[in-house]
A and B are shown apart, each in its own frame.
Chain A
């Protein structure tokens, strides 16, 4: 079990998770990158910027 760095929600992590894997927080939808497995460390995965303005 990890914690979402974005919203603080608990994030379920499988036992066989590997470094670099991308997970999604069920609460806020943030994509999270597994930085380290032991100890478990999650960071926000880089995202593409979006600009709907003109």
Chain B
């Protein structure tokens, strides 16, 4: 059994990772930490895990060496404590933004601070298996992606990589649930204000833009990404709608072919574009708790626009499930291990 510890396990991302790993047949949870809940049973923070495990939270200072250390801490903490963490885990998977960007100069621009360990940035592999499977296999360090970024990148990468769309005109609108904001309450998450909201919280300047640009850069050509984010009435889930413009009059069937080529064998990407029925395009409602990212599209017959829809659960494929998928690849296990849950319907 591989011993995994989770630092920052009382948050939503850490709790979701714990939920998944408790049922992983190759994993033994060694320690889970929380500064605010140290000494308390994990069920106190995660009621879904009551009587599933008798684990208690430890303090971060009590972390012991393990095979894999997963960091689920607020942005900035992993880089700040890197010297302590790097000696504890043979392999480290970070779920924060601290090691996602390859260019250290992007951190002051998008996160408002210098990077504490810029020398580590090129030692982390970006955590999307669909783009970096071979690199993850040999990696010691993996940086899981932003949830909105994952949705945007998985939706668009096949078209941009194939040169099928104009990379200077990518217009993205991300609709996202409240759990993405984490478990610390503030004025914007107060129930009377958050419930029922359809709130444009980042019409421009969302920090995941940096990742999207980084990962949709193919052949040295950085795309122009015009990204807006809207908070909607969901707890979990993202729907990313992108308006792109095809080159050379690309047909809908040719777009089908590009997506099928990219994702036809991927275990967690489904091309959802059906002519019949109610559920014709990706909808995050049915992806809660799953590691799927559903991608669909429609070619506008009246212009050169293609509308691409991507959906996933921000806490699973957008965070913890992505980490488990990477872990499975790192150890040569079936990528689907521990991630088989197909979701609920109706829900």
* A interface residue numbers (CB < 8 A to B): 5-9, 24, 27-31, 44, 47
Are B253 and A28 in contact, with the CB atoms below 8 A?
no
Nearest CB of B to A11, in Å = 13
Q: Is B257 an interface residue (CB 8 A)?
A: yes
Nearest CB of B to A49, in Å = 12
Q: Is B277 an interface residue (CB 8 A)?
A: yes
Q: How far is the CA of A29 from the CA of B278 in the complex (A)?
A: 12
Return the chain A residue nearest B275 by Cβ.
A30
Are B257 and A6 in contact, with the CB atoms below 8 A?
no
Nearest CB of B to A24, in Å = 7
Q: Is B56 an interface residue (CB 8 A)?
A: no
Nearest CB of A to B258, in Å = 11
- A residues in contact with B260, CB < 8 Å: 7-9, 27
Return the chain A residue nearest B280 by Cβ.
A29
- B residues in contact with A44, CB < 8 Å: 275
Report the 3 A-B pairs with minimum CB-CB distance, sorted nearest first: A29-B274, A7-B256, A30-B275
* B interface residue numbers (CB < 8 A to A): 252-253, 256-257, 260, 271, 273-277, 280
In this complex, the member of B252, B271, B274, B275 whose beta carbon has the largest number of chain A beta carbons within 10 angstroms is B275
Q: Is chain A's binding surface mostly helix, strand, loop or mixed?
A: loop
- B residues in contact with A31, CB < 8 Å: 275-276
Are A7 and B276 in contact, with the CB atoms below 8 A?
no
Are B253 and A29 in contact, with the CB atoms below 8 A?
no
Are A29 and B276 in contact, with the CB atoms below 8 A?
yes
- A residues in contact with B257, CB < 8 Å: 8
Return the chain B residue nearest A7 by Cβ.
B256
- B residues in contact with A8, CB < 8 Å: 253, 256-257, 260
Nearest CB of B to A29, in Å = 3
Q: How far is the CA of A27 from the CA of B276 in the complex (A)?
A: 11
Q: How far is the CA of A30 from the CA of B277 in the complex (A)?
A: 10
For this complex, 15 residue pairs linking A to B, each with C-beta atoms less than 8 Å apart, are A6-B253, A6-B275, A8-B253, A8-B256, A8-B257, A8-B260, A27-B271, A28-B256, A28-B273, A28-B274, A28-B275, A29-B274, A30-B275, A44-B275, A47-B275
In this complex, the member of A5, A8, A24, A31 whose beta carbon has the largest number of chain B beta carbons within 10 angstroms is A8
Q: How far is the CA of A5 from the CA of B252 in the complex (A)?
A: 10
| Other A-B pairs beyond A8-B253, A47-B276, 8, CB < 8 Å | A6-B252, A6-B256, A24-B276, A27-B271, A28-B256, A31-B276, A44-B275, A47-B275
- B residues in contact with A7, CB < 8 Å: 252-253, 256, 260, 273
Return the chain A residue nearest B259 by Cβ.
A7
Q: How far is the CA of A6 from the CA of B275 in the complex (A)?
A: 9
- B residues in contact with A5, CB < 8 Å: 253
Nearest CB of B to A19, in Å = 21
Return the chain B residue nearest A5 by Cβ.
B253
- B residues in contact with A6, CB < 8 Å: 252-253, 256, 275
Q: How far is the CA of A28 from the CA of B273 in the complex (A)?
A: 6
